[in-house]
């Protein structure tokens, strides 16, 4: 595998780490290129290196899950703001309708008074 390991997906990295055929040199490159590990990781045994890589993978999955939840929270806040804006529009419309009703009620009373005066 001569290609850069920095661009591989998390799932592909997990397959390489869990493959018992993967040699230590490949795992070291994966740790350094994909996860940004220090070159001192090369001193670890293969078993310790696999464990460290599994931790990197689990951490990245956790970060992805947190990011998904955070984006859902932002979306729900956006939806909440939209619903609130709609509610405010409805309140304003009801208030305007009430005021228009008062105006028409005022006009009716005025007309009744005017009609009584003319009778």
- pLDDT the model gives residue 89: 86
Task: Report the alpha-carbon distance of residue 74 to residue 88 in Å, rounded.
Answer: 21
- pLDDT the model gives residue 117: 62
- pLDDT the model gives residue 91: 80
Note down pLDDT in tens along the chain; length 119 residues: 457 888 899 999 999 999 999 999 999 999 999 999 888 767 889 999 999 999 999 999 998 988 887 777 776 778 778 878 888 888 888 777 777 666 666 676 667 777 766 65
Radius of gyration, alpha carbons of the chain = 34
- Residue whose tokens read 């405010």: 88
């Amino acid at each position: 595998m001569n290609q850069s390991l920095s661009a591989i997906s998390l799932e592909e990295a997990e397959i390489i780490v869990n493959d018992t055929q993967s040699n230590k040199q490949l795992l070291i490159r994966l740790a350094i290129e994909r996860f940004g590990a220090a070159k001192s990781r090369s001193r670890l045994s293969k078993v310790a290196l696999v464990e460290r890589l599994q931790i990197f993978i689990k951490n990245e999955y956790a970060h992805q899950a947190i990011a998904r939840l955070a984006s859902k929270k932002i979306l729900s806040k956006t939806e909440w703001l939209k619903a609130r804006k709609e509610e405010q529009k409805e309140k304003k419309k009801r208030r305007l309708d009430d005021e228009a009703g008062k105006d028409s009620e005022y006009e009716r009373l005025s007309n009744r008074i005017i009609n009584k005066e003319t009778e």
